[in-house]
Amino acid sequence: MKVLLVSDGFDEGLEEKLESLGFIVEVVDRESVRGGVKRFEPDLVLVYTRPTEDLELDKFRDLDMIFLVDLEEFNIQKAILIPSYVHINKPFSVRELERAMNLIIRMKEEKDRYKKLFRHTDSCVAVLQAINNGKDFIFKDLNPAAEHEAQVKKENIIGKKMSQATPRNAHLPMLKLLQRVYETGEVEHFSFTPYYKDGKIIKWKQGTIYKSSPDELVVVYQDIAKGKQLIGELRKREDYKAIFDNSGTGTIIVDEDTTILLANKRFEELSGYSKEELEDKKVGQNSY
């Protein structure tokens, strides 16, 4: 594994100890971080720093970094690896460092798995950070499905407040939900009023908001307009409805998120559940 060590020269021989554990290490100062990342293409960026150092973190918001905070200036002979909160006594022993790096590698692998899911899921996912004690929120990340649904480019929205990224007052219902989740920590499910145009459902968002860290919220949602429009069309067409309802084959219409939109009479008989118990439920939510 390649490690880019960001240090200003007071790292207690950390480079040599990491190399003794089999890591390929390159050392840069903080002014050369971006150049080092581009040139070295590290698997991990490890920043050795002190609590009072001004890191200007906003410049590196897009980089995935682990911080090793030296507490010596507070007369504490330890360093703390963030975000894993592993305490390493100084001078560093190779054994303690190995334990800490193993934990960091496991955390990185889990994070990489999350990133793959984030990128490839069909659900829209937006990550927001609370500012001003939860009075407002800025966009931290947006997955490709959310970019496509909102017709925006991620780079044009990251770091912006909701009020800046949303036309007029369209953000207010979501803002209230986010504020409530931020305050309570409880998961919230939502379904916004559908938007119609020319008698057709254009947008109908349903989803979930949860708190992933003290100042970070995640919104997962889908636009269910197509499915709802299909139901509406099917219910209007009595001939199709009769064929669907009276088919000898048990049939259900399922949305992209596995929600049952319609169930016919034969499926009711086979499953033992009524239409009311089946429709708007996830496939497998009932035992049939």
216-263 confidence digits (pLDDT tens): 999 888 876 555 555 555 555 555 566 567 667 788 877 766 788 778
CATH superfamily of 121-223: PAS domain (3.30.450.20)
- Residue 263 pairs with which residues in a beta bridge? 252
Please tell me the predicted confidence (pLDDT) of residue 260.
Answer: 82
- What's the average model confidence in pLDDT over 140-159? 87
Query: What residues does CATH 3.40.50 cover in the chain?
Result: 2-118
Give burial (CB, 10 Å; 0-12/13-18/19+) of 151. Answer: exposed
167-213 pLDDT per residue, tens: 555 567 788 889 999 999 999 888 765 444 554 544 557 788 999 88
Q: Which residue has the higher pLDDT, 13 or 255?
A: 13
- What's the average model confidence in pLDDT over 104-129? 83
Query: What residues does CATH 3.30.450.20 cover in the chain?
Result: 121-223
What is the distance between the alpha carbons of residues 44 and 65, in angstroms, rounded to a whole number?
7
Poorest-pLDDT segment among 23-32, 124-133, 251-260: 251-260
DSSP element (H, E) containing 268? helix 265-271
What is the distance between the alpha carbons of residues 44 and 26, in angstroms, rounded to a whole number?
11
Dihedral (CA of 265, 270, 272, 275) sign: negative
Please tell me the predicted confidence (pLDDT) of residue 110.
Answer: 79
Q: How many residues does the chain have?
A: 288
What is the distance between the alpha carbons of residues 98 and 100, in angstroms, rounded to a whole number?
5
What is the distance between the alpha carbons of residues 87 and 109, in angstroms, rounded to a whole number?
21
On average, the pLDDT of the chain sits at: 79
Question: What distances in angstroms separate CA 254 from CA 9, 158, 247, one per listed residue?
Answer: 60, 34, 17
User: 2-118 in CATH: which number?
Assistant: 3.40.50
Structure tokens at 145: 């499905």
